[in-house]
Amino acid sequence: MITLSDARLSTRIAAERAGAWLLRATGDEFARFDSPANRADPYPAYARLRERKALYRSKLGFRVAVTFEHCNLVLRDRRFGVQRADGGQPKFFDTITMARGPEIVLSFLELDPPEHTRLRALARPAFGPAKLDGYRPLIESIAHDLLDRATEDGGFDLITDFAGPLPIRVISELLGIPDVNAERFLAYGRVLAQALDGISSMRQVRELRTATDEMYTMFRALMAAKREHPEADVLTQLTEAHDAGKLTVPELLATCELLLVAGFETTVNLIGNSALALLSHPDQWALLREDPGLARAAAEETLRYDPPVQSTARVAHEDLELAGERVRANELVFTMLGATGRDPAVFADPEVFDITRTPEREHLAFSSGIHYCLGAPLARLEAEIALRVLAERLPEPALDGTPRRRPSAGIRGLLRFPVRNAPGKRLSVP
């Protein structure tokens, strides 16, 4: 049954699709980021905008920052937030809010202080330095187990058989989710990540609602189970925090969703992007093969060179000046994180992928400021271990089919990446 609100949403989606097509056709650079050519390789477009040395103003009514300097300023400046000054969401995201439904509340990633501070503090202990030391043996065991299974027949898909299940099993273990279905969780991640680029159809709305309903049903059941049988996991801690009055059920569900999906979505794409970059540069793969201790450096270089998260948005809380231009209160600024790592004003030879690089600055792939990625240390550890295990156990990997990229501008990664350990073959990058 089609409700009145869904009929309105369908009309809105159709209007936005037509508007986006018109904007791309008339040369709006932000709208063009979602074109097939730029989804495949956005870096030339970033370079063109960076040469302007100013904020780009989209016809959609917001600014776009592409230099390291401007993005870093926006992310660190407390005069910017992720909500409007009155606490509301930026109107640009109204459609996804309508698609998800009024019962879904914002996660702390979408909130400003003090609510952001309160909810983030409840999740922070699971990702602290003291915890990370204990995660390494678990991650190593999972990585070897997955590779044992994946390589039984010689060839395998690096995303679906290794890069995806690895962080899913890790974050599920930390949260306390039994009977993990990696394929289903990967589908949840793809649906939610695709929504960040905008809602393009009612079919996408239905997929988004189904994924959310399934996740929330799972979390509610687990909350009840943790009350009966508490364990040393994040879901138990959050359930106890709820029972102590520190967060509501909708807030708990939103936090669990964020930790689950963000806990594997970035890492899946970081491992995939790293492997693709390494195999596309045989000299760099040879360096890693000869010294697997370079795995951490390889992950960091990928975060600079081809990061999973390409953009994030901030809202001005007051009238201010940025890059010599006036930005008014409640005006939206998109910071193109993917552009910052190749800014020649900051990084020497930025178009060169070099895992022995000593970077001049820390990249912005995990954002910056108070919304710096809570799971960044875990993602780094997982990527380091994954790349080291691959280098030690697959010394001569080669493409065994055609890699397929995700149809997304905001999240950059691969859906399919078939490989096999076969000396003599060269990787052909699409």
Q: Using pLDDT thresholds of 50, 70 and 90, give the confidence band for residue 2.
A: low
pLDDT tens, 79-95? 999 999 888 888 888 89
DSSP state of 306: S
CA 403/CA 388 separation, integer angstroms: 22
The whole-number average pLDDT for the span 353-380 is 95
Q: Report residue 423's pLDDT band, with 50, 70 and 90 as the boundaries.
A: low
Alpha-carbon distance of 389 to 303, in angstroms, equals 19
pLDDT at 427: 40
Q: How confident is the model at residue 424 (pLDDT cuts 50, 70, 90)?
A: very low
Share the mean pLDDT of the chain. Answer: 91
The 10s digit of each residue's pLDDT in 247-305 is: 999 999 999 999 988 888 899 999 999 999 999 999 999 999 999 999 999 999 999 99
Tell me what pLDDT residue 4 has.
64
Segments forming the whole domain that contains residue 124: 4-421
CATH number, domain of 158, equals 1.10.630.10
pTM for the structure as a whole: 0.93
Q: How many CB atoms lie within 10 A of CB 238?
A: 28
Band (400; pLDDT cuts 50, 70, 90): confident
pLDDT tens profile 226-242: 999 999 999 999 999 99
Residue 427 lies in a domain: no
Average pLDDT over residues 39-49: 95
pLDDT above 60: residue 353:
yes
Q: How many domains does the chain have?
A: 1
- Kindly state the percentage of the chain with pLDDT values over 90: 74
364, part of any domain: yes
5-19: per-residue pLDDT in tens?
Answer: 888 999 999 999 999
* Per-residue confidence (pLDDT) for residue 176, from 0 to 100: 93
Type and span of the H or E element at 415: strand 414-416
Asked whether residue 67 carries a pLDDT value surpassing 90, the answer given is yes
Segment 124-137, tens digit of pLDDT: 988 888 788 889 99
Query: Is there a domain that residue 336 lies in?
Result: yes
Q: How far apart are the C-alpha atoms of 160 and 111, rounded to whole Å?
A: 32
Is there a contact between 139 and 227 (Cβ–Cβ < 8 Å)? no
One-character DSSP codes across 68-136: HHHHHHHHH-TTEESS-TTSPPPGGGHHHHHHH-TTPPPPGGG--TTHHHHHHHHHGGGGSHHHHHHHH
138 has a pLDDT exceeding 80: yes
Residue 426 lies in a domain: no
For residue 111, pLDDT over 80 is answered with: yes
| Residue 422 pLDDT | 62
Report if residue 428 sits inside a domain.
no
Tell how far CA 272 is from the center of its chain.
13
Which residues 6+ apart lie within 8 Å of 163 measured at CB? Answer: 267, 268, 269, 271, 272, 275, 386, 417
Map residue 202 onto helix, strand or coil. helix
Grade residue 172 by pLDDT with cuts at 50, 70 and 90.
very high
Confidence of residue 426 (pLDDT cuts 50, 70, 90): very low
Identify the band that residue 78 occupies on the pLDDT scale cut at 50, 70 and 90. very high
Mean pLDDT of 322-334: 93
pLDDT at residue 120 above 60? yes
Mean pLDDT of the 41-47 span: 96
Residue corresponding to tokens 């330095």: 129
DSSP label at 395? S
In a domain, 430, yes or no: no
DSSP structural state of residue 333: E
Mean pLDDT calculated for residue range 172-181:
88
Q: CA nearest 317: which of 331, 334, 303, 307?
A: 331
Mean pLDDT of 146-165: 91
Q: Mean pLDDT over residues 126-149, rounded? A: 90
